Structures are given as C-alpha cells and as structure tokens.
C-alpha cells in the first residue's frame, strides 16, 4: 500500500475544499456569495494573528492597522500605477509585509503588554496619520475597483461570484502556504520562541530576527486581507479599519483556537454571523439607534470572554476532552 506524505495530504485537502467551495458558489444566491467573500477575508486575517500570537508568541492588538497598510497600497497601485487588481493584491501583501518587517525589528525586544500596547497605539494613530496626506484621500478615502468579471465566464457570472472566487482563492492559497511553513522547521522555531525565548536564544536561534520574520509574514497576510476587504466595499478610508476590527479579529482567533489554523473558517463564519444575529435581535426586541450600533461590539466582547473562559484553545479542545472521556 502506497503511503501518502503529509504535505500531499494537505494539498489534496485544500484542492478538495476549493472544489467544494466552487460547487457551493454555483448553488447559493448573491447575498451568500458576498458573505462568503467576507468569511474568506476574515479567515485570512485570523490566520495572520494565529501565526503571530499562537506560533511566535507575539500579541498584537493592532492588526487593523496592518490591514489598512495593505489596503491603501493596493488601492494606490490600481489608481496611480494602473496595475491589474490581482497584482494590486500582491502589492498589498508585499508592502504590508515590508512594513511589518520594519515594525518587527523595531519592537523585537518588546513582549507581552508592551508589544500589545505598541500595536494598539499604531491602530489608534494610523487613521489620524492617513488623514494628513492628500494622496490617501483624507477621510473620504480612495476607490478600489477590481472591474467587472471576465467576459469568458458568461453574462450570468455576477460580480458577487467574482468577489467570492477571488477571496476564496486568495485565502486557500495563502493558508495552504502558511500551513506548509508552519509544518516546516520554521514552524518549530516559531513555537520554540513562543514557549521559551531564552532557551531558544541559548540554543543558537536569532530570536530578534525570527520574531521580525514572523511579524513580517503575519503583516503580509493581514495586508492581503485588507486588500480583499476594500475590494468588497469598493473603497478604502480610515473608517474602514477601526480599532474594533482588531478586537473582532482577536475574538475570531480565540474562538478558532489561537494555536491551530484548522478552524480559521469557523472564526470567519462567526464574525460574519454576528451582525446578522444582532440585526435579528434588534428586529425582535426593538431598541434605539445607539443600541443597534453597539450590540455587535457587545456580542463580540461577550464571545471573547466566553471563549477565553471555556475554550481558550478553540472548539477542538472540547472535542478532545469528550473523546478522552469515552
């Protein structure tokens, strides 16, 4: 019997998942296609946090700022350099990755609350900085237009399905590459940094450089997610990347299981479902405009607290304990 290697199994699993998503996209309406695009985008952003926090032990509270860097880079490359939207998304990831590399070397000596505070300050200050540069469009922002779907797909191929295909493909390829990276020697080194950075340094690992590399890769993935987000909302502005987005992504990572990439789609589904659940609650019980606005944020906060208390390692932890009992 021929044994299939782990890498080949992983590749086959991603190809199968892609095929399933392709079939699903043909059988659901435009609203679900659009929501599916957001699930893929959130899954990417959550994966970037899992890499940074779950594997290299660096806590970031400012991933919305890293997403914004990629979003602005992608939009400017389309508007000013006239690049193809696919290339613009690659540029978004590269620029955000370079930004993250510089930031990573700067904060390499920081850890715990000091690192979290630094990234939090970045997320708070970035919108103000963006407003100071006319090239970034100020508060109004700039347009991010990927154009209409290719004509070869036919007249019935909608813009929403096009969004879904781009988002799902970007997420699948990126998370597949990240899974292979974390299964390699680099993944083991990142986990060594997380578990005991002093012991890792004594064993000859350049802790500062590896932390900066992890920060750079995480930033690049977050930048790609930012590019996908503004593609979905057809524009980028400071208001698209509030501080609440960073906390929502952190909640998604905790719900997923911050040490595991397998549940990132679950985290994306949760973040997409929360506004719908909040809207349903408001329609049933009524409430003021302020209540309607704050309810999703309250639900995210409550979910984060419950996840930390009961499933800090994700839902897989509960399944594992259930199997051990039986």
pLDDT score recorded for residue 2: 42
- Find the angle CA(248)-CA(212)-CA(114) to the nearest 5 degrees: 60
Which residue in this structure is represented by tokens 């979290």?
116
pLDDT score recorded for residue 282: 77
pLDDT score recorded for residue 96: 95
More reliable by pLDDT, 130 or 76: 76
Query: Is residue 161 situated within a structural domain?
Result: yes
- The secondary structure of 236-273, three-state, reads ECHHHCCHHHHHHHHHHHHHHCCCCCCCHHHHHHHHHH
Gap between the Cα atoms of 181 and 176, Å rounded: 9
pLDDT band at residue 3, thresholds of 50, 70 and 90? very low
The percentage of residues in the chain with a pLDDT greater than 70, rounded to a whole number, is: 91
Residues 199-218, mean pLDDT to the nearest whole number: 86
Q: Which region among 45-54, 85-94, 267-276 has the lowest average model confidence (pLDDT)?
A: 267-276
**Eight-class DSSP state of 61:** S
Query: Is residue 104 situated within a structural domain?
Result: yes
Q: Which region among 59-68, 206-215, 296-305 has the lowest average model confidence (pLDDT)?
A: 296-305
Query: Is residue 98 situated within a structural domain?
Result: yes
Mean pLDDT for the chain? 83
pLDDT reading at 296 higher than 80: no
Query: Is residue 273 situated within a structural domain?
Result: no
Query: Is residue 263 situated within a structural domain?
Result: no
Query: Is residue 128 situated within a structural domain?
Result: yes
Total number of domains constituting the chain? 1
Gap between the Cα atoms of 290 and 214, Å rounded: 39
Residues 165-191, mean pLDDT to the nearest whole number: 90
pLDDT score recorded for residue 290: 67
pLDDT reading at 5 higher than 70: no
Domain that holds residue 79: 28-147+156-242
Residues 124-140, mean pLDDT to the nearest whole number: 78
pLDDT reading at 36 higher than 90: yes
Residues 66-91, mean pLDDT to the nearest whole number: 89
Gap between the Cα atoms of 159 and 5, Å rounded: 38
Q: Which region among 33-42, 145-154, 183-192, 266-275 has the lowest average model confidence (pLDDT)?
A: 145-154
Query: Is residue 305 situated within a structural domain?
Result: no
Residues 292-315, mean pLDDT to the nearest whole number: 74
Are 219 and 100 in contact by the 8 Å Cβ rule? The answer is yes
More reliable by pLDDT, 23 or 295: 23
Residues 142-161, mean pLDDT to the nearest whole number: 81
Query: Is residue 181 situated within a structural domain?
Result: yes
Residues 229-241, mean pLDDT to the nearest whole number: 87
- Sign of torsion over alpha carbons 99, 100, 106, 107: positive
pLDDT reading at 131 higher than 60: yes
């Amino acid at each position: 019997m021929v044994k299939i290697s782990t890498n080949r199994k992983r590749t086959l699993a991603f190809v199968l998942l892609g095929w399933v998503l392709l079939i699903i996209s043909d059988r659901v309406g435009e609203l679900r296609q659009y929501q599916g695009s957001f699930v893929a985008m959130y899954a990417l952003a959550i994966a970037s946090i899992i890499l940074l926090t779950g594997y290299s032990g660096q806590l970031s509270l400012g991933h919305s700022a890293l997403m914004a860097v990629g979003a602005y880079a992608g939009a400017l490359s389309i508007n000013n350099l006239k690049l193809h939207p696919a290339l613009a998304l690659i540029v978004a990831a590269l620029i955000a990755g370079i930004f993250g590399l510089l930031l990573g070397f700067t904060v390499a000596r920081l850890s715990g609350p000091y690192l979290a505070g630094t990234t939090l300050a970045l997320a708070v200050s970035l919108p103000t900085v963006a407003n100071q540069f006319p090239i970034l469009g100020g508060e109004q922002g700039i347009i991010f237009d990927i154009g209409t779907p290719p004509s070869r797909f036919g007249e019935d191929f909608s813009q929403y399905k096009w969004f879904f295909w781009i988002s799902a493909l970007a997420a699948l390829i990126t998370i597949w590459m990240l899974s292979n990276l974390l299964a390699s020697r680099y993944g083991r080194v990142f986990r060594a940094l997380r578990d005991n950075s002093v012991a890792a340094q004594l064993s000859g690992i350049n802790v500062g450089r590896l932390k900066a590399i992890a920060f750079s890769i995480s930033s690049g993935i977050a930048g790609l997610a930012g590019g996908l987000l503004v593609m979905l909302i057809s524009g980028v502005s400071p208001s698209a990347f509030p501080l609440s987005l960073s906390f929502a992504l952190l909640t998604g990572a905790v719900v997923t299981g911050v040490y595991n990439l397998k549940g990132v789609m679950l985290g994306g589904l949760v973040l997409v479902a929360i506004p719908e659940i909040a809207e349903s609650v408001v329609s049933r019980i009524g409430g003021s405009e302020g209540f309607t606005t704050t309810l999703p944020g309250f639900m995210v906060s409550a979910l984060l607290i419950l996840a930390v208390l009961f499933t800090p390692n994700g839902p897989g932890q509960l399944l594992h304990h259930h199997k051990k009992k039986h």
